[in-house]
Structure 1
Amino acid sequence: MNASVFSCGFAVIAGPPNAGKSTLLNRLLDCKLSIVTPKPQTTRKKITGIYHDDSSQIIFLDTPGIMQPQQKLHESMLAVVRQTLQETDVIIALIPYCKGADHIDRDFTTELFDKWLKPVSKPLIAVLNKSDLVSPETQKQTETWITNTFSPVSAHSVSARKGSGLDKLIDALRPHLPMDEPLYPEEMLSTAPERFFVSEIIREKIFLFYGKEIPYATEVVVDEFKEQHENDPSRKDLIRCSVIVERDTQKQILIGNRGSALKKLGQAARADIEELLGRPVFLELFIKVRPDWRKKQHLLKSYGY
């Protein structure tokens, strides 16, 4: 490896809920690392994904969506964003295109740059996602408005869902990566432990299978993770998880008639966990009620917020 042409550093992905931050991370890594659902505010914690190629290693930091906090959980999520912005070398400001007169939310974009990103004084790259929703002419006009209004290092239109424009984004990031040697081995995709991704997979299924307030009132805690295959390859790993909700009615909805909903949840989660780990697992889910856990600092802290 020629160190003189190699670059390495951290790039945070920041933007509003449902901008496509997790989809972008997964597409860049060509791996489903961050959970993705149609509902906003799916990501609650920082997720690290490590991109490798012959001339660079980019440690991407996927963060919760920036929004107006309504409870202590939201405040904790936004604290993660603030801390991560301080730790990064370059910031990707991810702004989604939308159908409408302006094609982006200009008021939020202004707040994002002026209140959140520019005060950090880090190199800023504006990335306009969901470019497949608008015409090339609209893309060019919007990139020009972003550039003239906020003076980022560069502005790019991409489609994380379709994978277009990502090579140019990587090229734009490289000059802002300060290190000339990789921090992590090439086979490493994340710094997070397996049990973190187990809990995220279960949360993703809850977001996909349940409506209304259930996904937002739910937290998943891995209580036990026994890698039993190491001593006996015929034995399944044992994973026990607590699914935390705020009310008894939510517990009943999660369980369903005679446990049918919980069984469906467990089967879907187990299939993805086994694909992630590459081995069979025995998954047990227990529903626990912790009233107003999203508003209680000591509970949030115990859940890793």
Structure 2
Amino acid sequence: MRSGFVSILGRPNAGKSTLINALVGEKVAIVTSKPQTTRSRIHGIVDIPAVKGKHHAAQIVFVDTPGVHKPGSMLDKRMMQEVHDALAQRDIVLLIIDATRRIEIDDPKSEDTFVFELIKKVDCPVFLIINKIDLVDREKLLPLIAQLSALYPFAEVFPISARKRDGLERLTEKLIEHLPEGQRYFPKDQFTDQPERFLVAELIRERILMETGEEVPYASAVVIERFEEPEPAKGDRLPLTRIAAAIYCERTGQKAILIGKGGSKLKSIGTSARKEIESLLGTRVFLELHVIVKENWRESQGFVEALDWRRQIAEMGEAQKQREEED
């Protein structure tokens, strides 16, 4: 059997999250048209049976990362740390390029140059993934591939459309070919390592990104304050899960936008998010949202680090241990 970690790297809006969802076959990452939608490393796990004469059995752990950008705020720096952490633990890197966007590799200060400087520091196979080929004329692909291949000795080059799943089967086969022999990192039927609380927070944030504009999406964060186990159902009704979440923003004007006239925007965000959450959990959901202003939270190292679900889980475990010792 073959197994390993495959980190997906690229600039914002290159289609990383769409790709990982398509490869995994489940929604493990939220997807919007806004840059910097992904804020932390997200693992999507695929268990692939062997096909005689074609490829070995494999478990591939895909790692979606925040879009590579030059950091400004403390939040930006935390996001780029997530990128570096993903590159530190990987067997293969996928560099994903948006075929519809002009590559600014001649400018030493551009984010494209920044991306290529990152991959030059890794010592594993790097695949070049040209995404969104369904949106460009095919005769433009060969010059683009030639331009990028001259910048780095890629192990493989794959033109794909993540949205249409075009080219993904061949990509998966090549990944298996390059992965080392090993054992499963996760149980066979697990498709992500993210806890449900984090997935729920991300689904709420996705609706904020999609339903608000200007600075509001980037100044918003979601923290799950209460997540109760499903209540037993009566008759044919599904169990009920009660969830309370806080939406943080930085200014009172942003809070007013999030709430909307007569609470209309917050209600719309909650209704849309609840439907997605019910689909995820397989239960009915009672979702309670409220908005809190925390000025300049993106510059607060403590608050930004507290948003990390891995840290939240560790703190919850410590709190539970302390309660048990007190009892």
**Normalised by the size of structure 2, how large is the TM-score?**
0.86
What's the CA shift string for 1:189-246, capped at 9, x where partnerless? 1011000000000000000000001100000001111113359886511111110011
Contact 1:147 1:154 (8 Å CA) reproduced: no
Partner of 1:83 in structure 2? 85
- The code of the aligned residue for 1:295 comes to E
Q: 1:254 pairs with 250, 253, 258, which one?
A: 258
Q: 1:128 pairs with 127, 130, 155, which one?
A: 130
Q: CA deviation at 1:274?
A: 0.3
Contact 2:8 2:93 (8 Å CA) reproduced: yes
In the alignment, the residues of structure 1 paired with residue 113 and residue 253 of structure 2 have an alpha-carbon distance, to the nearest angstrom, of 41
Contact 1:125 1:153 (8 Å CA) reproduced: yes
Partner of 2:241 in structure 1? 237
Identity %: 39
| Runs (5+) with no aligned partner, structure 1 | 1-5
Contact 2:91 2:179 (8 Å CA) reproduced: yes
CA 1:105 to 1:159, structure 2 compared with 1: closer, same or farther past 3 Å?
farther
CA 1:284 to 1:142, structure 2 compared with 1: closer, same or farther past 3 Å?
same
- List structure 1 runs of 4+ shifted beyond 6 angstroms: 231-234
Contact 1:130 1:159 (8 Å CA) reproduced: yes
Alignment of 1:1-305 (within 5 A): 6-54=1-49, 55-98=57-100, 103-107=102-106, 108-113=111-116, 115-229=117-231, 236-304=240-308
Contact 2:93 2:124 (8 Å CA) reproduced: yes
* Root mean square deviation, CA, Å: 1.7
Contact 1:223 1:242 (8 Å CA) reproduced: yes
What's the CA shift string for 1:242-265, capped at 9, x where partnerless? 100111111111111111111111
Aligned length: 296
SS of the equivalent of 1:10 reads strand
Partner of 2:319 in structure 1? none
Contact 2:249 2:295 (8 Å CA) reproduced: yes
In the alignment, the residues of structure 1 paired with residue 103 and residue 147 of structure 2 have an alpha-carbon distance, to the nearest angstrom, of 11
Question: For structure 1, which segment, 142-151 or 15-24, has the greater mean C-alpha deviation from structure 2 after superposition?
Answer: 142-151
What's the CA shift string for 1:156-196, capped at 9, x where partnerless? 11111111111121122113322333222232110110000
Partner of 2:323 in structure 1? none
- The code of the aligned residue for 1:59 comes to V
In the alignment, the residues of structure 1 paired with residue 73 and residue 114 of structure 2 have an alpha-carbon distance, to the nearest angstrom, of 20
SS of the equivalent of 2:231 reads helix
In the alignment, the residues of structure 2 paired with residue 21 and residue 105 of structure 1 have an alpha-carbon distance, to the nearest angstrom, of 19
In the alignment, the residues of structure 2 paired with residue 87 and residue 180 of structure 1 have an alpha-carbon distance, to the nearest angstrom, of 15
In the alignment, the residues of structure 2 paired with residue 209 and residue 90 of structure 1 have an alpha-carbon distance, to the nearest angstrom, of 36
